[in-house]
Structure 1
Amino acid sequence: MPRTTAATRPAKPDAPQARFRLRVTAGDVIAIGPGKIALLEAVARTGSITTAAKSLDMSYRRAWMLLDELNSQLKSPAVDSSKGGQHGGGTALTPVGERLVETYRRIETTAEKATATDMRALVRLLNR
Structure 2
Amino acid sequence: MEDCLFCKIIAGEIPSNKIYEDERVYAFTDIDPKAPVHILVIPKKHIKSILEVSEEDFEYLDAMVRAAQKIAETQKIAADGFRLVFNTGENGGQTVHHLHMHLLGGRYMEWPPG
TM-score by structure 2 length?
A: 0.30
Higher strand share: 2
Q: Which has the higher contact order (CA 8 A, sep 6+)?
A: 2
Normalised by the length of structure 1, the TM-score is 0.27
Radius of gyration: which is bigger? 1
